[in-house]
C-alpha cells in the first residue's frame, strides 16, 4: 500500500515516527505551516520556520525515504496576534519556492475579524501565485465555521476546485461536498474523527471519492502518524478494492497538490547534507 499523508506536522514528530511511517507505506507527505505550540513574537520567527519547512524537514524526511513538500501561510490562530500578522507582507516571496505546493493552512479558529482579513488575503495570494489552498475548518462551532469559510471562498479569486477543506466530519461534509471543494478528513486517536467513521463516510459519499483526502494531522495534540495506513486497512476490511484505497490515499493527494505544478515525487539523493549539516552523528 503506497500512502501520501497530505497534512502532517512532522516538525512535532520524532525520527521513530519517520521510520514507522515508511514501514507502513508512507512515501510522500505535505506539511502545512501551523503554530509552534507557544506564541510567536515576530515575523522573523515565521521566517526561520518557513526555511525549516523548505530545507531541513525535507532533508530529514528524505533520510527515511519520504518525499516532503509544504504549504505556507499565517495560521488562523496567530492571525489574531498583531505581532504575527505582518508576516503576510513577506509570505509572497516564500510562496515562490519550488517545494511550496499550496497556501495553508489558512481558515478560521475563533472566527474573528482579524481571521476574516487573513483568510481573504491569503485566498487571493493563492490565486495570484497559481497555488491551491489548504483551508482548516474550525473544531468548535463547525457548521457555522464552514458556512463562513465558504462565503469567503466564493468572494475570493480562487475557484472551489482549487480549495481543500480540511478537518471535516459528519456535520460539515454535506455542505462541503456541495461546494465543489476538495474534502479533507483528519483522523485522530480519540477525538473528532476515527477510521471507522471515515469508512462509513466514504460509503455515503462514494460519488465524491475522487476528491476525498485523508490525513493524520499529527500535531502537538494526541495524534497518530500512521492513521493513513489505518484508514487503508479499514477500507480493505470493509470490502473496498485496493484501487480505491490507492485513489484516496495516494492519487487524490497527488492530484490536489499537483494543481500547483510543483509536486515532484522523486526522492533527493540520500547522502546529501543540508547546508553542511548531517543528521548522522557519532560516526553512525
Ligand atoms: Zn494542521
Q: What is the pLDDT of residues 133-142, one digit of tens each?
A: 999 999 888 9
Residues 6 or more apart in contact with residue 51 via CB below 8 angstroms: none
Q: How far is the CA of 34 from the centre of ligand 1 (A)?
A: 6
Q: How far is the CA of 281 from the centre of ligand 1 (A)?
A: 31
Q: Is the confidence at residue 70, as pLDDT, over 80? A: yes
Q: How far is the CA of 104 from the centre of ligand 1 (A)?
A: 9
Q: How far is the CA of 166 from the centre of ligand 1 (A)?
A: 9
In angstroms, the CA 29 to CA 12 distance is: 14
Residue range 26-43, pLDDT digits in tens: 999 999 999 998 999 999
Per this entry, what is the length of the chain? Answer: 284
Q: How far is the CA of 245 from the centre of ligand 1 (A)?
A: 23
Residues 6 or more apart in contact with residue 191 via CB below 8 angstroms: 222
Residue range 117-131, pLDDT digits in tens: 999 999 999 999 999
- Specify the pLDDT at position 148: 97
Answer whether 62's CB lies under 8 Å from 279's CB: no
User: How many other CB atoms are there within 10 angstroms of residue 116's CB atom?
Assistant: 15
Answer whether 27's CB lies under 8 Å from 229's CB: no
Q: How far is the CA of 91 from the centre of ligand 1 (A)?
A: 18
Q: How far is the CA of 283 from the centre of ligand 1 (A)?
A: 35
- Give the residue from 197, 195, 208 showing the smallest Cα distance to 164: 208
Q: How far is the CA of 284 from the centre of ligand 1 (A)?
A: 33
Containing 26, the helix (H) or strand (E) segment is strand 26-32
Q: Dihedral sign, CA of 116, 179, 213, 130?
A: negative
Q: Starting at the edge strand that comes first in sequence, how are the strands of the sheet with 67-72 ordered?
A: 3-5, 26-32, 67-72, 100-107, 133-136, 163-166, 182-186, 212-215
Answer whether 131's CB lies under 8 Å from 95's CB: yes
Q: How far is the CA of 84 from the centre of ligand 1 (A)?
A: 18
Answer whether 80's CB lies under 8 Å from 119's CB: no
Q: How far is the CA of 9 from the centre of ligand 1 (A)?
A: 7
Q: Is the confidence at residue 282, as pLDDT, over 50? A: no
Q: How far is the CA of 5 from the centre of ligand 1 (A)?
A: 12
Containing 254, the helix (H) or strand (E) segment is helix 252-258
Q: Is the confidence at residue 63, as pLDDT, over 80? A: yes
Tell if the pTM clears 0.85, that is, is over it: yes
- Specify the pLDDT at position 284: 45
Strand 212-215 to strand 182-186: parallel, antiparallel, or no bridges (unpaired)? parallel
Q: How far is the CA of 216 from the centre of ligand 1 (A)?
A: 9
**Burial grade of 195 (CB within 10 A; 0-12, 13-18, 19 or more):** buried
What secondary structure letter does DSSP report for 60? H
Grid cell digits, residue 13: 514528530
Domains identified in the chain and CATH numbers: 3-258 (3.20.20.140)
* Planar angle of CA 148, 154, 158, nearest 5 degrees: 120
pLDDT category at 271 given cuts 50, 70, 90 is: low
Residue range 172-224, pLDDT digits in tens: 999 999 999 999 999 998 777 899 999 999 999 999 999 999 999 998 888 99
Amino acid at each position: 500500500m503506497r500512502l501520501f499523508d497530505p497534512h502532517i506536522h512532522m516538525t512535532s514528530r520524532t525520527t521513530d515516527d519517520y521510520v514507522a511511517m515508511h514501514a507502513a507505506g508512507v512515501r510522500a507527505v505535505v506539511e502545512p505551516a501551523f503554530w509552534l505550540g507557544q506564541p510567536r513574537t515576530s515575523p522573523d520567527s515565521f521566517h526561520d520556520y518557513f526555511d525549516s519547512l523548505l530545507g531541513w524537514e525535507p532533508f530529514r524526511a528524505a533520510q527515511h525515504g519520504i518525499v516532503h513538500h509544504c504549504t505556507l501561510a499565517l495560521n488562523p490562530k496567530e492571525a489574531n496576534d498583531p505581532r504575527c500578522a505582518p508576516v503576510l507582507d513577506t509570505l509572497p516571496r516564500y510562496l515562490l519556492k519550488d517545494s511550496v505546493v499550496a497556501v495553508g493552512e489558512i481558515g478560521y479558529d475563533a472566527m474573528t475579524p482579524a481571521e476574516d482579513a487573513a483568510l481573504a488575503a491569503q485566498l487571493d495570494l493563492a490565486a495570484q501565485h497559481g497555488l491551491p489552498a489548504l483551508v482548516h475548518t474550525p473544531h468548535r462551532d463547525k457548521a457555522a465555521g464552514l458556512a463562513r469559510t465558504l462565503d469567503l471562498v466564493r468572494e475570493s479569486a480562487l475557484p472551489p476546485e482549487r480549495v481543500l477543506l480540511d478537518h471535516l466530519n459528519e456535520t460539515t461534509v454535506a455542505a462541503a461536498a456541495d461546494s465543489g471543494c476538495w474534502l479533507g478528513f483528519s483522523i485522530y486517536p480519540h477525538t473528532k474523527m476515527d477510521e471507522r467513521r471515515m469508512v462509513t463516510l466514504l460509503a455515503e459519499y462514494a460519488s465524491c471519492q475522487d476528491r476525498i483526502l485523508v490525513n493524520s494531522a499529527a500535531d502537538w495534540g494526541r495524534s497518530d502518524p500512521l492513521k493513513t495506513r489505518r484508514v487503508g486497512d479499514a477500507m480493505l476490511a470493509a470490502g473496498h478494492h485496493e484501487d480505491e484505497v490507492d485513489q484516496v490515499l495516494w492519487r487524490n493527494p497527488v492530484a490536489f497538490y499537483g494543481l500547483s505544478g510543483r509536486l515532484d515525487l522523486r526522492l533527493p539523493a540520500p547522502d546529501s547534507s543540508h547546508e553542511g549539516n548531517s543528521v548522522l552523528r557519532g560516526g553512525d
